[in-house]
Structure 1
Amino acid sequence: MKKKLKIDLPEFVEIGDNKLKNLFKILLFHKLKFKEILLLGDSKTFLLGGETIASIFKKEKIKILKHLISNSDEENVENIKKFIKEEKPDLVIGFGGGKVLDVAKLAAGKYKTKFISIPTILSNDGIASPVSVIKDKNNIPISHITKAPHGVIVDINIIKKAPIRHIRAGVGDLISNLSAVFDARLAQSKGIEKTDSMALTLAEAGPISLLQFKNKSIKNNEFLLCLAHGLIKSGFAMCTVGSSRPASGSEHKISHSIDYLYSPRKTLHGEQVGIGTIFTMSLQKNEYLDKVKKLYAQIEFPQNLKHLGITEDEFIEVIYNVKNIRPERYTILEDKKLTPKEIKKIIEETGL
């Protein structure tokens, strides 16, 4: 008898204005009990709102422990794990970007401590997923499956303060799902692997909604709400299958290959997968490619290799190195096995 997959979804999601100032009430409404909280952030996010969060709980006579996360690496994860083991907080709150949330999520998951994800930027779908991306000793980002956040709280007032570059990166990460879902269905059509169809539908729902959204002003409230909902749906899709498969295909392999060959990187994850998506969607003959390029132009998302800091020849090397990245995950790149000439042709045709 086939073992039933345990679905580990967040218990609640709150998205809207002024969520931060109502944080205590939100947690009580969702029946969370706590006497001691570990608040994790970085030097910037504590100034942005971390200290406000701390003061809210102090007024309610809740013991608040604060800890700075300096990087999303193994050392920081181990430090937070040790802190959680010693202090045994009832709740861990991560307030920050991907760096803070990934470390907090993985460390809290180790001791099954309830974790509340409060993003300050919408740069990737890790805000609600069971995946933490942590740099190893060689500074290479490695994905780890852990427990999804117990709750996700997105305050649009906070998100609007984020650098536009990070919001664009979130768009790139969400749009990349269209490439990833195509790859998953391709693998399924060839009998190589099977991914739950509902998870794939959920993963592509967010980017399709974003493409259909009329007002593409990047700091428009409704646009940010659409982006937030899409990234959370993407996280949920990963939760339902227990892996990143619905949101990570050939375009993520390209990004990981870039990280491996040309680390350290100055570009954001969402920028790398977003640009990689143009290449993979062209190869897939993906029906959404033209709409994606139009959206990218409207929000001034980077669409060339120059932004990635790599040359055409280096990109060819990136594509050839993809075979070493998650070889068990079949994508359009394994299906086509491109020659250097074919890679250059796609670069030329797409304007990369």
Structure 2
Amino acid sequence: MPLLARMITAPLVVEVRRGALAELGTILADQRISTSGRVAIAVGSTYGPTVQEAFAGGLAGADWFSVRGGTINAAIQLVEQVRSQRYDAIVGVGGGTVLDVTKFAAARLGLPMVAVATNLAHDGIASPISTLDNDAGRGSYGVPAPIAVLVDLNLIAQAPPRSVRSGIGEIVSNLSAIADWEAAHALRGEEIDGLAVSLARTAAQAVMNHPGGILEDSFLATLAEGLVLSGISMVVAGTSRPSSGACHEISHAIDLLHPERRGYHGEQVGLGAAFAWFLRGDLDRFHATVDCLHRHELPVRPSDLGFSLEEFAAIVDYAPQTRPGRITVLEESSLTPARIADKVAAFNDHAYARISSDGAAMPEGVVLD
């Protein structure tokens, strides 16, 4: 009888715990990624010196490279530096910028990539996507997913709290992205992958339902594992669909229209997800999303991101242009500028009411339509 199953590309190892970084050499050897320790290690300016000091007596065969900025040029520069020698693998140690640059370089060099995350700002830890700034603004590039993922909670605890909270917004937005994908499947016949949906949804629900916060190891581990699962869901689907819908279109529009004012990616997509739920008329999901974002001190209104209602309305109007061909609630709603302005104003009122008095009452005269 034939084996009716599919092969799924997944990391050889995922380590989420305190002290994981110290085991890097052992993991590389045990998993046959590099038995000699002959690897290129890319680090950023924040944790670079700390990481190098930690391995002063180990990984003697490694060479160290500094990543300067999250641009396509920085990634190409890393490629040119690393290709002058032979390595078993390339290791990225840092936040999203360092990991995205390293993933792109690994793809160009044909080397396996190991991701060592020092913050939890977004789901690029294990994703097959590298997001880099280019001459046109910001682009997403398909790359092989990391072959191994390490998250050292000692380093995560030292990261700026805002960056960790950003990861919460990123993972919470999965549920809105899935709703967009399911609607596109039902209304337009777009192919959908149930396993990818299950992974992305499970990751988001685990974080949303966790009672803890960013000062607790159990919550950080749940968030880290959720972000890894979210990345793997994109590998399974062969697309960013499980975690990218209207929420991400809104974030991309902010990046393109207001590059000097863009915040953390997860902050933007979290608010974008709340707006998307409101636009769908799903008050239960809207309330749950706003409650989660507010509890973790993330933005819930345009002003929290530094935008007026008029500016946010223009962002929503532009958002569908950032992903031509992708169908989300923004495209399906066929909103006119006047209608967008009305929706943004109503969304703002509802969000304010929800975070005031524990969401016990809506402002008088506000009606969800």
TM-score by length of 1: 0.92
Name the structure 1 match of 2:193: 196
Q: Is the 8 A contact 2:121 2:266 kept in 1?
A: yes
Change (3 A) 1:55 1:306: farther
Name the structure 2 match of 1:113: 111
Which residue, out of 314, 318, 321, partners 1:324? 321
Which residue, out of 228, 231, 238, partners 1:232? 228
SS in 2 for 1:190: helix
- Whether 1:167 and 2:168 are equivalent positions in the alignment is no
CA RMSD in angstroms, aligned pairs only: 1.8
Which residue, out of 259, 272, 279, partners 1:276? 272
SS in 2 for 1:13: strand
Q: Is the 8 A contact 1:124 1:170 kept in 2?
A: yes
Question: Where has structure 1 moved over 4 Å in runs of 4 or more?
Answer: 4-7
Name the structure 2 match of 1:177: 174
What amino acid does structure 1 have at the position aligned with 2:141? H
CA distance in 2, matches of 1:143, 1:295: 28
Post-superposition CA distance 1:214-240 (Å, at most 9, x none): 2x2212000001101110110000001
Q: Is the 8 A contact 1:122 1:228 kept in 2?
A: yes
CA distance in 1, matches of 2:27, 2:329: 44
CA distance in 1, matches of 2:59, 2:349: 56
What amino acid does structure 2 have at the position aligned with 1:207? A
Percent identity over the alignment is: 30
TM-score by length of 2: 0.88
Q: CA deviation at 1:208?
A: 0.5
Name the structure 2 match of 1:28: 29
CA distance in 2, matches of 1:67, 1:84: 8
Q: Is the 8 A contact 1:40 1:94 kept in 2?
A: yes
Q: Which stretch of the first structure deviates more once superposed, 27-36 or 122-131?
A: 27-36
Post-superposition CA distance 1:117-151 (Å, at most 9, x none): 0000000000000010000124x221111000010
What amino acid does structure 2 have at the position aligned with 1:53? F
What amino acid does structure 1 have at the position aligned with 2:201? E
Q: Is the 8 A contact 1:7 1:242 kept in 2?
A: no
CA distance in 2, matches of 1:170, 1:123: 4
Identify which of structures 1 and 2 has the higher relative contact order when contacts are C-alpha pairs closer than 8 Å and 6+ apart: 1
CA distance in 2, matches of 1:8, 1:193: 23
Count of residue pairs brought into register by the alignment: 343
SS in 2 for 1:79: helix
CA distance in 2, matches of 1:55, 1:309: 47
Post-superposition CA distance 1:261-286 (Å, at most 9, x none): 11133411111111111111211234
Q: CA deviation at 1:210?
A: 1.3
Q: CA deviation at 1:6?
A: 7.5
Which residue, out of 101, 110, 117, partners 2:99? 101
SS in 2 for 1:330: coil
What amino acid does structure 2 have at the position aligned with 1:45? Y
Q: CA deviation at 1:29?
A: 2.0
Change (3 A) 1:172 1:120: same
Change (3 A) 1:10 1:54: farther
SS in 2 for 1:72: coil
Name the structure 2 match of 1:129: 127
Q: Is the 8 A contact 1:41 1:96 kept in 2?
A: yes
What amino acid does structure 2 have at the position aligned with 1:246? P
Q: Is the 8 A contact 2:19 2:154 kept in 1?
A: yes
What amino acid does structure 1 have at the position aligned with 2:351? T
Q: CA deviation at 1:74?
A: 1.3
Q: Is the 8 A contact 1:8 1:147 kept in 2?
A: no
What amino acid does structure 2 have at the position aligned with 1:328? G
Q: Is the 8 A contact 1:254 1:319 kept in 2?
A: yes
Correspondences of 1:203-214 after superposition (within 5 Å): 203-214=200-211
Name the structure 1 match of 2:344: 343
Name the structure 1 match of 2:330: 333
Unaligned runs of 5+ in 1: none
Q: CA deviation at 1:85?
A: 2.3
Correspondences of 1:273-312 after superposition (within 5 Å): 273-286=269-282, 287-312=284-309
Q: Is the 8 A contact 2:252 2:322 kept in 1?
A: yes
Post-superposition CA distance 1:285-344 (Å, at most 9, x none): 344332222222222222221232221111111111123111211001111123122332
CA distance in 2, matches of 1:25, 1:350: 49
Q: Is the 8 A contact 2:309 2:344 kept in 1?
A: no
Q: CA deviation at 1:7?
A: 4.4
Which residue, out of 40, 43, 46, partners 1:41? 43
